[in-house]
Amino acid sequence: MLNILKLQKQLVEVALPSGFEKPQGKLLAELAKPFVDEVFSDALGNVYCHKKGPGKRMMFPAHMDVIGMMITFVDDKGFLRFEPIGGHSPAGLIGITVRLESGVRGTIRADAAADVFKHGFGDVDVHDLYIDIGARDAADARNFVQEGDPVHLNTYHQELLNGLLSARAIDDRGGAFIILEALKRAKERGCKIGVYAATTVGEETTMRGAHWAGSRIRPAVAIAVDVTYAQDYPGTDAGDSGDVKLGGGPVICNSSIANKKVNDLLKVCAAAKGIPYQMESFVGRTGTDADKIHFANQGITTALLSLPLRYMHSPSEVCHFDDIENSIELLARFLCAIDENTNLDPFC
Protein backbone atom coordinates (compact mmCIF):
# COMPACT_ATOMS: atom_id res chain seq x y z
CA MET A 1 0.00 0.00 0.00
CA LEU A 2 2.79 2.42 0.85
CA ASN A 3 4.40 2.05 -2.57
CA ILE A 4 1.07 2.65 -4.28
CA LEU A 5 0.41 5.73 -2.15
CA LYS A 6 3.87 7.19 -2.76
CA LEU A 7 3.72 6.83 -6.54
CA GLN A 8 0.12 7.96 -6.77
CA LYS A 9 1.03 11.12 -4.86
CA GLN A 10 3.87 11.80 -7.30
CA LEU A 11 1.51 11.48 -10.26
CA VAL A 12 -1.23 13.64 -8.74
CA GLU A 13 1.08 16.46 -7.69
CA VAL A 14 2.14 17.13 -11.31
CA ALA A 15 -1.28 16.54 -12.87
CA LEU A 16 -2.41 19.45 -15.04
CA PRO A 17 -5.54 19.81 -17.20
CA SER A 18 -6.03 18.57 -20.72
CA GLY A 19 -3.78 20.53 -23.08
CA PHE A 20 -1.07 21.05 -20.44
CA GLU A 21 0.16 17.49 -19.94
CA LYS A 22 3.92 17.98 -20.39
CA PRO A 23 4.94 17.74 -16.69
CA GLN A 24 3.10 14.48 -16.11
CA GLY A 25 4.42 13.07 -19.38
CA LYS A 26 7.99 13.72 -18.25
CA LEU A 27 7.36 12.09 -14.87
CA LEU A 28 5.72 9.01 -16.38
CA ALA A 29 8.64 8.60 -18.77
CA GLU A 30 11.13 8.77 -15.89
CA LEU A 31 9.17 6.23 -13.85
CA ALA A 32 9.10 3.75 -16.75
CA LYS A 33 12.67 4.01 -18.04
CA PRO A 34 14.20 1.51 -15.59
CA PHE A 35 12.02 -1.40 -16.76
CA VAL A 36 11.22 -0.81 -20.46
CA ASP A 37 13.35 -0.97 -23.59
CA GLU A 38 12.47 2.49 -24.88
CA VAL A 39 10.38 5.53 -24.06
CA PHE A 40 9.29 8.00 -26.74
CA SER A 41 6.58 10.56 -27.42
CA ASP A 42 4.72 11.98 -30.40
CA ALA A 43 3.75 15.43 -31.64
CA LEU A 44 0.67 15.56 -29.40
CA GLY A 45 2.54 14.62 -26.23
CA ASN A 46 1.48 10.98 -25.81
CA VAL A 47 4.19 9.03 -23.99
CA TYR A 48 4.89 5.42 -25.06
CA CYS A 49 6.71 3.02 -22.72
CA HIS A 50 7.71 0.00 -24.81
CA LYS A 51 8.78 -3.49 -23.78
CA LYS A 52 10.01 -5.18 -26.95
CA GLY A 53 8.97 -8.67 -27.93
CA PRO A 54 7.98 -10.83 -30.93
CA GLY A 55 4.56 -11.45 -32.40
CA LYS A 56 1.47 -9.55 -31.36
CA ARG A 57 1.76 -5.99 -30.11
CA MET A 58 -0.33 -5.20 -27.05
CA MET A 59 -1.18 -1.66 -25.96
CA PHE A 60 -2.49 -0.46 -22.61
CA PRO A 61 -3.65 3.17 -23.02
CA ALA A 62 -4.49 5.33 -20.00
CA HIS A 63 -4.96 9.07 -20.24
CA MET A 64 -2.62 11.38 -18.33
CA ASP A 65 -4.71 14.57 -18.54
CA VAL A 66 -7.20 15.62 -15.89
CA ILE A 67 -10.10 18.03 -15.60
CA GLY A 68 -9.35 21.62 -14.64
CA MET A 69 -9.93 25.17 -15.83
CA MET A 70 -8.47 27.83 -18.12
CA ILE A 71 -8.36 31.52 -17.29
CA THR A 72 -10.35 33.56 -19.83
CA PHE A 73 -10.53 37.04 -18.30
CA VAL A 74 -9.00 39.21 -15.56
CA ASP A 75 -11.41 41.95 -14.46
CA ASP A 76 -10.51 45.44 -13.21
CA LYS A 77 -10.60 44.33 -9.58
CA GLY A 78 -8.29 41.36 -10.17
CA PHE A 79 -10.93 38.62 -10.07
CA LEU A 80 -10.48 35.79 -12.59
CA ARG A 81 -13.09 34.30 -14.90
CA PHE A 82 -12.56 30.84 -16.34
CA GLU A 83 -13.91 28.08 -18.56
CA PRO A 84 -13.94 24.44 -17.45
CA ILE A 85 -11.60 21.91 -19.06
CA GLY A 86 -13.54 18.66 -19.00
CA GLY A 87 -16.74 17.95 -17.12
CA HIS A 88 -17.46 19.78 -13.86
CA SER A 89 -20.45 20.35 -11.63
CA PRO A 90 -20.37 24.16 -11.22
CA ALA A 91 -22.15 24.08 -7.85
CA GLY A 92 -19.57 21.60 -6.56
CA LEU A 93 -16.75 24.06 -7.27
CA ILE A 94 -17.97 26.83 -4.97
CA GLY A 95 -15.55 27.28 -2.07
CA ILE A 96 -12.90 24.98 -3.56
CA THR A 97 -9.25 26.04 -3.39
CA VAL A 98 -7.36 26.08 -6.69
CA ARG A 99 -3.74 26.56 -7.76
CA LEU A 100 -2.50 28.57 -10.71
CA GLU A 101 0.47 27.67 -12.90
CA SER A 102 2.51 30.34 -11.06
CA GLY A 103 1.89 28.53 -7.76
CA VAL A 104 -0.52 31.16 -6.46
CA ARG A 105 -3.59 29.81 -4.68
CA GLY A 106 -7.13 31.05 -5.02
CA THR A 107 -10.68 30.16 -4.06
CA ILE A 108 -13.71 29.75 -6.32
CA ARG A 109 -16.72 31.82 -5.37
CA ALA A 110 -20.08 32.67 -6.93
CA ASP A 111 -21.33 36.11 -8.01
CA ALA A 112 -23.49 37.77 -5.39
CA ALA A 113 -26.01 38.35 -8.18
CA ALA A 114 -26.38 34.59 -8.62
CA ASP A 115 -27.60 34.41 -4.99
CA VAL A 116 -26.94 30.69 -4.81
CA PHE A 117 -27.41 30.54 -1.06
CA LYS A 118 -30.90 31.99 -1.36
CA HIS A 119 -32.12 30.02 -4.36
CA GLY A 120 -30.02 26.87 -4.05
CA PHE A 121 -27.17 25.40 -6.06
CA GLY A 122 -29.10 23.50 -8.71
CA ASP A 123 -29.06 26.19 -11.40
CA VAL A 124 -25.51 27.49 -10.91
CA ASP A 125 -23.72 28.10 -14.21
CA VAL A 126 -19.96 28.15 -14.56
CA HIS A 127 -20.24 31.79 -15.70
CA ASP A 128 -21.60 32.66 -12.24
CA LEU A 129 -18.23 31.70 -10.78
CA TYR A 130 -14.91 33.49 -10.43
CA ILE A 131 -11.54 32.92 -8.74
CA ASP A 132 -10.32 35.21 -5.97
CA ILE A 133 -6.51 35.13 -5.60
CA GLY A 134 -6.40 38.14 -3.28
CA ALA A 135 -5.18 40.55 -5.99
CA ARG A 136 -5.59 44.28 -5.40
CA ASP A 137 -6.54 44.96 -9.02
CA ALA A 138 -5.99 43.68 -12.58
CA ALA A 139 -2.38 44.87 -12.71
CA ASP A 140 -1.58 43.03 -9.50
CA ALA A 141 -3.32 39.87 -10.73
CA ARG A 142 -1.40 39.92 -14.02
CA ASN A 143 1.85 39.56 -12.13
CA PHE A 144 0.74 36.00 -11.44
CA VAL A 145 -1.72 34.97 -14.15
CA GLN A 146 -2.56 35.56 -17.81
CA GLU A 147 -5.46 34.55 -20.02
CA GLY A 148 -4.96 30.98 -21.20
CA ASP A 149 -3.21 29.82 -18.02
CA PRO A 150 -4.32 26.45 -16.60
CA VAL A 151 -5.86 26.09 -13.16
CA HIS A 152 -6.21 22.91 -11.16
CA LEU A 153 -8.02 21.86 -8.02
CA ASN A 154 -5.80 22.23 -4.97
CA THR A 155 -6.85 18.99 -3.23
CA TYR A 156 -4.49 16.13 -2.47
CA HIS A 157 -4.22 12.68 -0.92
CA GLN A 158 -5.98 11.52 2.21
CA GLU A 159 -6.19 7.93 3.40
CA LEU A 160 -9.68 7.05 4.61
CA LEU A 161 -10.86 4.06 6.62
CA ASN A 162 -10.76 0.46 5.36
CA GLY A 163 -8.23 0.87 2.57
CA LEU A 164 -9.85 3.80 0.77
CA LEU A 165 -7.98 6.69 -0.83
CA SER A 166 -9.37 10.19 -1.41
CA ALA A 167 -7.60 12.45 -3.92
CA ARG A 168 -8.09 14.61 -6.96
CA ALA A 169 -7.20 13.24 -10.40
CA ILE A 170 -7.53 9.53 -9.65
CA ASP A 171 -9.23 9.83 -13.05
CA ASP A 172 -6.90 8.83 -14.59
CA ARG A 173 -3.74 8.95 -12.50
CA GLY A 174 -4.96 5.60 -11.18
CA GLY A 175 -5.01 4.17 -14.70
CA ALA A 176 -1.57 5.55 -15.57
CA PHE A 177 -0.11 3.99 -12.43
CA ILE A 178 -1.83 0.67 -13.14
CA ILE A 179 -0.53 0.26 -16.70
CA LEU A 180 3.08 1.05 -15.76
CA GLU A 181 3.06 -1.31 -12.80
CA ALA A 182 1.36 -4.07 -14.82
CA LEU A 183 3.98 -3.80 -17.55
CA LYS A 184 6.78 -3.85 -14.97
CA ARG A 185 5.34 -6.92 -13.23
CA ALA A 186 4.71 -8.79 -16.49
CA LYS A 187 8.28 -8.19 -17.65
CA GLU A 188 9.65 -9.49 -14.35
CA ARG A 189 7.61 -12.69 -14.90
CA GLY A 190 8.96 -13.28 -18.40
CA CYS A 191 6.21 -11.82 -20.61
CA LYS A 192 7.26 -12.57 -24.18
CA ILE A 193 5.12 -10.31 -26.36
CA GLY A 194 5.75 -6.66 -27.19
CA VAL A 195 3.80 -4.26 -24.99
CA TYR A 196 3.22 -0.50 -25.08
CA ALA A 197 1.98 1.32 -22.01
CA ALA A 198 0.64 4.47 -23.68
CA THR A 199 -0.20 7.47 -21.51
CA THR A 200 -2.38 9.64 -23.70
CA VAL A 201 -3.32 13.33 -23.83
CA GLY A 202 -6.64 15.06 -24.30
CA GLU A 203 -9.09 12.40 -23.13
CA GLU A 204 -11.12 14.85 -21.07
CA THR A 205 -11.73 17.11 -24.06
CA THR A 206 -11.34 15.54 -27.52
CA MET A 207 -9.78 12.06 -26.99
CA ARG A 208 -7.30 13.05 -29.69
CA GLY A 209 -4.37 11.33 -28.00
CA ALA A 210 -6.04 7.92 -28.07
CA HIS A 211 -6.69 8.08 -31.81
CA TRP A 212 -3.07 9.04 -32.52
CA ALA A 213 -1.77 6.32 -30.21
CA GLY A 214 -3.83 3.61 -31.88
CA SER A 215 -2.89 4.81 -35.37
CA ARG A 216 0.83 5.02 -34.53
CA ILE A 217 1.30 1.75 -32.62
CA ARG A 218 -1.24 -0.35 -34.53
CA PRO A 219 -1.54 -2.93 -31.77
CA ALA A 220 -3.20 -6.28 -32.26
CA VAL A 221 -5.07 -5.68 -29.00
CA ALA A 222 -5.63 -2.58 -26.88
CA ILE A 223 -7.06 -2.65 -23.35
CA ALA A 224 -7.89 0.87 -22.25
CA VAL A 225 -7.54 1.44 -18.52
CA ASP A 226 -9.66 4.16 -16.94
CA VAL A 227 -12.05 4.72 -14.03
CA THR A 228 -15.75 3.94 -13.85
CA TYR A 229 -18.71 4.86 -11.69
CA ALA A 230 -19.06 3.00 -8.41
CA GLN A 231 -22.71 2.53 -7.46
CA ASP A 232 -22.24 2.01 -3.72
CA TYR A 233 -22.93 5.44 -2.22
CA PRO A 234 -26.13 7.45 -1.64
CA GLY A 235 -28.03 8.54 -4.72
CA THR A 236 -26.54 6.03 -7.16
CA ASP A 237 -28.39 3.31 -9.03
CA ALA A 238 -26.82 -0.04 -9.91
CA GLY A 239 -29.40 -0.33 -12.66
CA ASP A 240 -27.62 2.36 -14.67
CA SER A 241 -24.66 0.23 -15.75
CA GLY A 242 -23.96 -2.46 -13.14
CA ASP A 243 -23.56 -3.18 -9.43
CA VAL A 244 -20.01 -1.81 -9.10
CA LYS A 245 -18.52 -1.41 -5.61
CA LEU A 246 -15.23 -0.16 -4.20
CA GLY A 247 -13.13 -3.14 -3.15
CA GLY A 248 -14.97 -5.49 -5.52
CA GLY A 249 -12.10 -5.66 -8.02
CA PRO A 250 -11.39 -4.23 -11.47
CA VAL A 251 -14.36 -3.76 -13.78
CA ILE A 252 -14.61 -5.48 -17.17
CA CYS A 253 -16.87 -3.66 -19.62
CA ASN A 254 -19.60 -5.24 -21.73
CA SER A 255 -20.02 -3.02 -24.78
CA SER A 256 -20.41 -3.19 -28.54
CA ILE A 257 -16.85 -1.84 -28.60
CA ALA A 258 -15.39 -4.44 -26.23
CA ASN A 259 -13.96 -7.62 -27.77
CA LYS A 260 -15.70 -10.63 -26.23
CA LYS A 261 -12.68 -12.93 -26.48
CA VAL A 262 -10.45 -10.44 -24.69
CA ASN A 263 -13.09 -10.11 -21.98
CA ASP A 264 -13.30 -13.89 -21.65
CA LEU A 265 -9.52 -14.23 -21.35
CA LEU A 266 -9.45 -11.52 -18.66
CA LYS A 267 -12.07 -13.53 -16.75
CA VAL A 268 -10.06 -16.75 -17.13
CA CYS A 269 -6.91 -15.05 -15.86
CA ALA A 270 -8.82 -13.61 -12.91
CA ALA A 271 -10.45 -16.92 -11.99
CA ALA A 272 -7.16 -18.83 -12.22
CA LYS A 273 -5.61 -16.73 -9.45
CA GLY A 274 -8.69 -15.78 -7.47
CA ILE A 275 -8.62 -12.13 -8.53
CA PRO A 276 -12.03 -10.54 -7.91
CA TYR A 277 -13.59 -8.68 -10.81
CA GLN A 278 -16.85 -6.91 -11.60
CA MET A 279 -18.90 -6.32 -14.74
CA GLU A 280 -20.52 -3.21 -16.19
CA SER A 281 -22.46 -2.65 -19.40
CA PHE A 282 -22.59 0.27 -21.82
CA VAL A 283 -24.41 0.30 -25.13
CA GLY A 284 -22.20 2.06 -27.68
CA ARG A 285 -19.83 4.70 -26.29
CA THR A 286 -17.96 4.13 -23.03
CA GLY A 287 -16.72 7.71 -22.61
CA THR A 288 -13.10 6.52 -22.51
CA ASP A 289 -10.08 6.26 -24.82
CA ALA A 290 -11.46 2.89 -25.95
CA ASP A 291 -14.03 4.75 -28.08
CA LYS A 292 -11.36 6.33 -30.28
CA ILE A 293 -8.80 3.51 -30.30
CA HIS A 294 -11.44 1.10 -31.55
CA PHE A 295 -11.75 3.14 -34.77
CA ALA A 296 -8.04 3.90 -35.30
CA ASN A 297 -6.07 2.51 -38.23
CA GLN A 298 -8.24 -0.18 -39.86
CA GLY A 299 -9.97 -1.06 -36.62
CA ILE A 300 -8.31 -2.30 -33.43
CA THR A 301 -9.41 -5.15 -31.16
CA THR A 302 -10.30 -3.23 -28.01
CA ALA A 303 -11.44 -3.85 -24.44
CA LEU A 304 -11.86 -1.69 -21.35
CA LEU A 305 -10.77 -2.37 -17.78
CA SER A 306 -11.74 0.19 -15.15
CA LEU A 307 -10.97 1.18 -11.58
CA PRO A 308 -14.16 1.69 -9.52
CA LEU A 309 -14.44 5.31 -8.41
CA ARG A 310 -16.76 7.37 -6.23
CA TYR A 311 -17.42 11.06 -6.93
CA MET A 312 -15.88 11.15 -10.42
CA HIS A 313 -14.80 14.61 -11.66
CA SER A 314 -15.04 16.08 -8.18
CA PRO A 315 -12.28 17.74 -6.13
CA SER A 316 -12.00 14.57 -4.00
CA GLU A 317 -12.49 11.27 -5.82
CA VAL A 318 -12.38 8.03 -3.81
CA CYS A 319 -11.05 4.59 -4.76
CA HIS A 320 -9.84 1.43 -2.98
CA PHE A 321 -6.19 0.37 -2.77
CA ASP A 322 -7.19 -3.29 -3.33
CA ASP A 323 -8.81 -2.43 -6.66
CA ILE A 324 -5.58 -0.78 -7.84
CA GLU A 325 -3.52 -3.83 -6.85
CA ASN A 326 -5.97 -6.31 -8.39
CA SER A 327 -6.10 -4.33 -11.64
CA ILE A 328 -2.30 -4.44 -11.87
CA GLU A 329 -2.21 -8.17 -11.15
CA LEU A 330 -4.95 -9.02 -13.65
CA LEU A 331 -3.31 -7.11 -16.51
CA ALA A 332 0.12 -8.57 -15.71
CA ARG A 333 -1.27 -12.09 -15.77
CA PHE A 334 -3.13 -11.36 -19.00
CA LEU A 335 0.13 -10.30 -20.67
CA CYS A 336 1.85 -13.46 -19.51
CA ALA A 337 -1.03 -15.64 -20.74
CA ILE A 338 -0.99 -14.59 -24.40
CA ASP A 339 1.56 -15.08 -27.14
CA GLU A 340 1.81 -14.64 -30.91
CA ASN A 341 -0.45 -17.67 -31.44
CA THR A 342 -3.35 -16.51 -29.27
CA ASN A 343 -6.45 -16.20 -31.46
CA LEU A 344 -8.66 -13.26 -30.54
CA ASP A 345 -10.78 -13.31 -33.71
CA PRO A 346 -14.38 -13.06 -32.42
CA PHE A 347 -15.65 -15.35 -35.21
CA CYS A 348 -13.23 -18.24 -34.53
Residues annotated as part of the active site = 203
Strands, DSSP E only, in 219-310? 221-229, 251-255, 278-282, 301-309
Distance in angstroms (rounded) separating the CA atoms of residues 117 and 21: 36
Contact 307, 178 (CB under 8 A): yes
Report strand pairing: 301-309 vs 221-229. Answer: parallel
Mapped onto helix, strand or coil, the DSSP state of residue 202 is coil
Distance in angstroms (rounded) separating the CA atoms of residues 136 and 203: 37
CA angle 184, 190, 196 (to 5 degrees): 45
Mapped onto helix, strand or coil, the DSSP state of residue 33 is helix
Distance in angstroms (rounded) separating the CA atoms of residues 142 and 156: 27
DSSP per-residue codes, 154-192: ----EE-GGGEEEES-HHHHHHHHHHHHHHHHHHHTT--
Q: In angstroms, how far is the first alpha carbon of the chain from the final one?
A: 41
The helix-helix angle for 170-188 and 321-337 (nearest 10°) equals: 40
Distance in angstroms (rounded) separating the CA atoms of residues 167 and 172: 11
Mapped onto helix, strand or coil, the DSSP state of residue 42 is coil
CA angle 179, 265, 303 (to 5 degrees): 50
For residue 141, the one-letter residue type is A
Distance in angstroms (rounded) separating the CA atoms of residues 58 and 344: 12
